[in-house]
Structure 1
C-alpha cells in the first residue's frame, strides 16, 4: 500500500502516527481518545468531546489545531449567543460611525482549518442550526454571498456535569459529528502524579506553543483522506458483519438482546442512520490504514464502533435520561451478540 491517486499513503501514515504521538505527549492518559480523534481528523470528520471539568478536553482540541496548522478560530457557547455572532460583529469605528467586521467564522475564509465551539451545550438552538449547515456543507451565507470552507474541521466540547443554562444538541446536529469522544481523568497513579506535580501540564498556553505547527498540512487532508478510503477493501463476509451490526442496533429485540432494568421493545426511538453507518465504515477504514493494512478486519469496526455510533442512537423519553448508563451496555450487547467472521 504505497500510492493512490498520486498520494503516498505510507508517508501520510507516518505523518498521522507522528501527529498522534505528539497529541499523546500533550495530553497524557488519553491514548484511546487520541486514537479516536486522529481517526476522525484523517477521515475528515467533525468531533465532539464530552467529559468532566478540567480533564483536558480543550487542551486536546487546541493541540490538534496547532498540529494541523492553518487558521484557527473559536467561539464560546453562551445563552445569548446568536447565529450572527459567528458571522459579524458591530462596533463604533474611529470616526464614531457604526461599522461591521467579519466574525470568527469569516475572518480567514477558505484558509480556516479548525473552528472550535467551546461549551456547545450552553448555546441556544438558533446557534446550533447555523452549526448544522457549517458541518454538513462546510459553507454559510453572509453579506449576500456564500463562504466556503473546504478544509474545515469543527471541534466542540461539552461539559458532562452542569445542566443549568444548557441546551441539548438536536438529533440532526449530533448526527453530523463524526465521533463523540468521552474524556475521563486517568486512573493510573503515575499519570495522576504527573498531572498534579509536573509544571509542564499546568501552563496550557506554553504547552501548546511548544508543539510544532503544521505537522500535517491541513489543505492536503481532503486528498489524503479520499486516497485512504479508496485504498482499503472490505471482503463480503466483513460487509455482512457490518450490516448485521447495523440491523441489530435498529432492532435489538430481533437478536434477543436483554439489558437489565430496560424494556428493549420500548428502548429505541430512532437513529443508526445510513449516514452514520457510512461514517462508521470511514472510521474503520482509517483505522486499518493506521494499522498498516489495506483491508478491513472485524477489530477495525469494533474499535471505532462506540465513538462513531453511540451518539446516533436515540432512546425513547423514558430512557433518554439514562443514556450514559444504557448506551454502553447496548453497544456491548450488540457486539457480543453478532458473530464476527
Structure 2
C-alpha cells in the first residue's frame, strides 16, 4: 500500500497520546483498557466492553465519543427491542395522524461518529442481526434507500453478572467486534479512595463535558488508520511467528498445549478465522505505532492478543460453559508454547 503522504503520523501520535491521557483522567486504574480502546479506534475497529455494574464502562465509552467529536447516538438493550427501533419512530402527530421520524441510527447519516449499544446482551438476536451489517459494512437499508456511515464506530457494553432476561451474542456478532475488553474495579487502595471521596468523579456529565470535544477528529481516522497500517513493517521472522500462533489456536494439541481437566484435542470447535487474525495484526501495528516504532515486535502481538482473539475462539459444547476459565489459560499456553523470534 502507498503511504498517505499528507498524513503527519508523528503529529497524530501526539494526538493519540493526548487521547489516552484524557481518558485516563476520567476513569482511574484502567490504563490497559484505555490503551486497548485507543488501539481499536486507530485501527477503525468496533469495541465491546464487558464487566460488572458501575465499574466505568459507560463513562469510558462516553468519554471516547466526546474526544472523537461528531454526532453520537445511543440505544438501550431491552427484551422488546426490535430492528425497526434503530431506524424509525412511529407516533401520532399533533393532528392525530400516524407519522414516522428517523430513529437514532438514521438521524445524522454520514455525520454519525459513535453509536453506543448499551447492555447489548439484553436485546434479542433480531436486534443483533441489524448490528451485524452495520458493523461489517458501515451501512444499512431503510425507506427504500441505502444509508452510509463511513466514519462510524460502534461501542457496546455487556453486564457480566446479570443473566436474567439476557441473550448470548451469536458467534457472528462477537466476531464483528474488533476487541472485547474486560473492565474491573481498581484494586489499588489509593484509587479506591479517590473514586469514593473525590467529588469530581461523582458527576459523570460534568466530567465528560470537561474533555476537549473533537481532540481526535473522527472524520480523519480512516485515512490515519490506513497510513498507520502502511507505515509499520513486519519482518519475515515476525510473520512466521504470527502464523504459528494462528495454527496453534486452531490445533492446540499439535503444538503441545496442555490444560488441566481439558481434552485439548476436543476443545476448539472453530474460530481464529483469517479475518480475526488480520484484526490481530491491525491491532499489533497500531500498538507499535503508539510505541513510536515503524516495525512489529512479538511484544506488540502479545499486548493485543487476548482482547482481539479470545472472543473469536469457539469451544465445543462440553467446554463452552467454562469459557471464562479456559480461554485465558488456552491463550497464555499458546503464547508460551510458540517460540518468538
TM-score, structure 1 as length reference: 0.99
Query: How far apart, in 1, do the equivalents of 2:291 and 2:308 lie?
Result: 18
Aligned to 1:266: 266
Shift of 1:4: 3.6
Alpha-carbon shift at residue 5 of structure 1 (Å)? 2.7
Partner residue, 2:87: 87
Aligned to 1:219: 219
> Match of 2:300?
300
Which secondary structure state, in structure 1, belongs to the residue aligned with residue 104 of structure 2? coil
Whether the 8 Å CA contact 1:70–1:111 is kept in 2: the answer is: yes
4+ long deviations beyond 2 Å: none
1:30-86 per-position Cα deviation (integer Å, ceiling 9, x unaligned): 000000000000000000000001000000000000000000000000000000000
Aligned: 1:109 with 2:109: yes
Query: Counterpart in 2 of 1:162?
Result: 162
Superposition pairs of residues 60-209 of structure 1, within 5 angstroms = 60-209=60-209
Q: State the match for 1:12 in structure 2.
A: 12
Query: 8 Å contact 2:4–2:223 — kept in the other structure?
Result: no
Q: Figure out how many residues of one structure are paired with residues of the other and give that number.
A: 339
What is the DSSP-based 3-state SS (H/G/I as helix, E as strand, rest coil) of the residue aligned with 2:126?
Answer: helix
Which stretch of the first structure deviates more once superposed, 259-268 or 76-85? 259-268
1:81 & 1:46 partners in 2: Cα distance? 21
Equivalence for 1:239: 239
Which SS does the other structure have where 1:257 is aligned?
coil
User: Following TM superposition, by how much is the alpha carbon of 1:96 offset from its aligned partner in structure 2, in angstroms?
Assistant: 1.4
Please say if residues 30 and 186 of structure 2, whose CA atoms lie closer than 8 Å, have aligned partners that are also in contact.
yes
Cα displacement string for residues 173-195 of structure 1 (whole angstroms, at most 9, x for unaligned residues): 10010000000111100000011
CA contact under 8 A between 2:238 and 2:296: conserved in structure 1?
Answer: yes
In 2, distance between residues paired with 1:264 and 1:146?
A: 46
Please tell me whether the aligned partners of residues 298 and 340 of structure 1 are also in contact (alpha carbons under 8 angstroms). Answer: yes
Contact 1:69 / 1:218 at 8 angstroms: preserved in 2? yes
What residue ranges of structure 2 are gaps of 5+ in the alignment?
A: none
- Kindly state the Cα deviation for residue 261 of structure 1 after the two structures are TM-superposed: 1.0
* CA RMSD of superposed structures (Å): 0.7
1: distance between equivalents of 2:163 and 2:117?
18
CA distance in 1, matches of 2:5, 2:259: 47
Q: 8 Å contact 1:45–1:177 — kept in the other structure?
A: yes
